[in-house]
């Protein structure tokens, strides 16, 4: 079955390590006449309220995309993930519109007014189950500092039953070092509000390997996170992604490129790169986290993801199993029947194309996956999970045995006890998860 992702490309401001597509919520927009109509014969106008107008353009485009593409999931969707960006940076009426659009096209028609007919919306089966009667997981990504009671009640009204909160660290000094907008106090306030709203499936995102972070800081962050009893934790090692301020800082420090100098003048003074933990310390942080979380009852079901039993993220699991997904919104990626496409990132351009009745596509990002790519991705995604790969599923899907494709390479890893093949499943040795990325390159065809 197909899962649904909706991208909300707004944030309060950009974090220094972030490569996701988002623009500041208050970014000005030069709206064009194809969207707003011509004013005094001019093709373009600068709108008066930048934040509202940019979100207006986005929501208008999203509605067109929903109209155009709802038929792609004629059997319904298996899960919903509203991500970003920061979906909760939208004000309550914008968030209401966003949720209403999604529900109108993919779930049930439900507006604020008719929600009053539901005595207890969160338990109403009409907005929680698929056509086959299964409970649907519906997640929204939130960031501390952007949540309030009204927005959470809206989420509940529309059947959101899982929240992923970008906590990242429980150390104000480290949060500041990566330009996060929130404090530890904001995390506590957000979690209290989430629990008060009745949502009982909470993920906390945390990053390790931050500039200046020591092992003790990381241990303290994890202990504070666990004290909040989240059902799920996602732990990510800080990476220097291209086109991020942190990466530019790195490029400048390596090459002394004059092009970067202007951008980096402010950043260099902070000397962040000098304080990045080395690979050994990052590996130790990961290993400590795994054993600590396991001792607290959280199982590692994927290299970066930990959950209490029964709270594994269904949406992400569907990605790792190679199932189809629909991505809506600027910059969102879809993969249906082995054709991968991406929407253009520019909000006004995205909406303009949709207003002309076309589906917006970034032509450079459309690919029909070859059989080799399908096999490689099946391996790369499946081996990241603790369940590993079902070898019978591999044979059925690709009409050949896994050993016929990978032969001696696979056998070498099994002989070295990096992979284990038992009871029809190929899995990574749990002790080797942290080096997984280095191993997986050998499985790309
Ligand atoms: S809040 Fe999240 S999406 Fe937004 S800039 Fe920061 S890391 Fe990126």
**What's the CATH code of the domain at 331?**
3.80.30.20
Phi, psi values for residue 5, rounded to 5°: -120, 135
Q: What is the mean pLDDT of residues 354-360?
A: 94
Q: Determine the pLDDT at residue 118.
A: 47
Tell me the pLDDT tens digit for each residue of 360-408.
999 889 999 999 999 999 999 999 999 999 999 999 999 999 999 999 9
Parallel, antiparallel or unpaired: strands 30-32 and 2-8: unpaired
Q: Determine the pLDDT at residue 128.
A: 66
Asked if residue 43 has pLDDT above 60, the reply is no
Query: Is 369 inside any structural domain?
Result: no
Indicate the residue among 319, 350, 381 that finishes a domain. 350
Q: What is the mean pLDDT of residues 167-187?
A: 96
Q: Determine the pLDDT at residue 87.
A: 97
Q: In which element (H, E) is residue 301 found?
A: strand 299-302
Q: Determine the pLDDT at residue 267.
A: 45
Q: Determine the pLDDT at residue 336.
A: 96
DSSP single-letter state for residue 384? T
Q: Are residues 28 and 140 in the same domain?
A: yes
Query: Quick check: CB of 20 below 6 Å from ligand 1?
Result: yes
Q: Are residues 435 and 336 in the same domain?
A: no
- CA dist 202 and 297 (Å) reads 15
Residue 180 is encoded by which pair of tokens?
A: 């996060």
Asked if residue 345 has pLDDT above 70, the reply is yes
Q: Determine the pLDDT at residue 58.
A: 96
Q: Determine the pLDDT at residue 40.
A: 43
Tell me the pLDDT tens digit for each residue of 191-224.
999 999 999 999 999 999 998 899 999 999 999 9
Query: Is 43 inside any structural domain?
Result: yes
Query: Is 36 inside any structural domain?
Result: yes
Say if pTM beats, i.e. exceeds, 0.85. yes
Diameter of the chain measured on Cα atoms: 75
Query: How many Cα atoms occupy the beta-carbon half-sphere of 53 within 13 Å?
Result: 15
Q: Determine the pLDDT at residue 105.
A: 86
- CA dist 49 and 94 (Å) reads 14
On average, the pLDDT of the chain sits at: 87
* Ligand 1, atom 7, residue with closest C-alpha: 18
Query: Is 361 inside any structural domain?
Result: no
Contact 343, 361 (CB under 8 A): yes
How far does the centroid of ligand 1 lie from the alpha carbon of residue 86, in Å? 7
Asked if residue 440 has pLDDT above 70, the reply is yes
How far does the centroid of ligand 1 lie from the alpha carbon of residue 400, in Å? 42
Domain range enclosing 188: 2-350
Asked if residue 315 has pLDDT above 60, the reply is yes
Q: What is the mean pLDDT of residues 264-283?
A: 70
Q: Which atom of ligand 1 is nearest to the CA of 13?
A: 5
Please give the order of strands across the beta sheet that includes 137-142: 299-302, 305-307, 232-237, 202-208, 162-168, 137-142, 77-84, 2-8, 325-328, 333-336, 339-342, 367-368
Query: Is 218 inside any structural domain?
Result: yes
Indicate the residue among 320, 350, 380 that finishes a domain. 350
Asked if residue 122 has pLDDT above 70, the reply is no
Please, what is the Cα angle at 89 between 138 and 170, to 5 degrees? 85
Query: Is 247 inside any structural domain?
Result: yes
Query: Quick check: CB of 16 below 6 Å from ligand 1?
Result: no
Asked if residue 171 has pLDDT above 70, the reply is yes
Q: Are residues 318 and 267 in the same domain?
A: yes
Most confident of 10-24, 98-112, 126-140: 10-24
Q: Are residues 58 and 175 in the same domain?
A: yes
Q: Indicate the number of domains in the chain.
A: 2
Q: Determine the pLDDT at residue 339.
A: 97
DSSP single-letter state for residue 42? B
* Ligand 1, atom 8, residue with closest C-alpha: 18
Q: What is the mean pLDDT of residues 221-244?
A: 95
- CA dist 271 and 284 (Å) reads 23
Q: Determine the pLDDT at residue 170.
A: 98
Q: Determine the pLDDT at residue 116.
A: 47
* Ligand 1, atom 6, residue with closest C-alpha: 15
- Counting residues of the chain whose pLDDT is more than 90, the rounded percentage is 71
Query: Is 113 inside any structural domain?
Result: yes
């Amino acid at each position: 079955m197909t899962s649904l992702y909706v991208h909300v490309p707004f944030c309060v401001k950009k974090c220094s390590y972030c490569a996701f597509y988002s623009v500041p919520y208050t970014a000005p927009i030069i709206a064009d006449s194809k969207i707003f109509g011509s004013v005094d014969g001019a093709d373009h106008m600068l709108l008066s309220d930048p934040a509202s107008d940019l979100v207006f353009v986005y929501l208008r485009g999203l509605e067109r995309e929903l109209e155009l593409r709802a038929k792609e999931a004629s059997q319904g969707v298996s899960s919903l993930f509203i991500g970003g960006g920061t979906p909760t940076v939208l004000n309550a009426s914008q968030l209401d519109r966003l949720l209403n659009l999604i529900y109108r096209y993919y779930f049930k028609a439900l507006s604020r007014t008719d929600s009053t007919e539901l005595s207890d919306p969160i338990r109403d089966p009409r907005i929680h189950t698929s056509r086959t009667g299964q409970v649907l997981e519906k997640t929204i990504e939130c960031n501390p500092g952007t949540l309030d009671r009204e927005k959470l009640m809206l989420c509940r009204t529309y059947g959101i039953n899982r929240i992923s909160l970008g906590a990242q660290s429980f150390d104000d000094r480290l949060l500041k070092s990566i330009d996060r907008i929130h404090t530890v106090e904001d995390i506590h306030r957000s979690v209290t509000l989430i629990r008060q709203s009745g949502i009982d499936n909470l993920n906390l995102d945390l990053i390790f390997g931050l500039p200046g972070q020591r092992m003790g800081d990381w241990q303290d962050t994890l202990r504070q996170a666990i004290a909040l009893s989240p059902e799920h934790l996602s732990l990510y090692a800080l990476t220097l992604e291209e086109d991020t301020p942190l990466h530019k800082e790195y490029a400048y420090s390596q090459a002394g490129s004059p092009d970067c100098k202007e951008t980096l003048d402010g950043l260099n003074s902070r000397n962040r790169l000098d304080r990045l933990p080395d690979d050994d310390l990052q590996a130790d942080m990961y290993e400590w986290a795994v054993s600590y979380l396991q001792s607290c009852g959280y199982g590692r079901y994927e290299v970066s993801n930990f959950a209490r039993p029964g709270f594994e993220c269904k949406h992400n699991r569907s990605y790792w199993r190679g199932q189809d997904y629909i991505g809506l919104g600027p910059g969102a990626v879809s993969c249906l029947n082995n054709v991968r496409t991406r929407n253009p990132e520019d909000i006004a351009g995205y909406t303009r194309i949709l207003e002309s009745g076309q589906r917006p596509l970034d032509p450079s990002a459309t690919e029909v996956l070859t059989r080799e790519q399908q096999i490689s991705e099946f391996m790369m995604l499946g081996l990241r999970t603790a369940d590993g790969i079902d070898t019978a599923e591999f044979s059925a899907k690709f009409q050949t045995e896994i050993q016929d494709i990978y032969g001696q390479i696979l056998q070498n890893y099994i002989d070295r006890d990096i992979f284990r093949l038992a009871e029809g499943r190929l899995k990574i040795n749990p002790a080797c998860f942290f080096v997984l990325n280095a191993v997986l390159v050998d499985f790309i065809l």
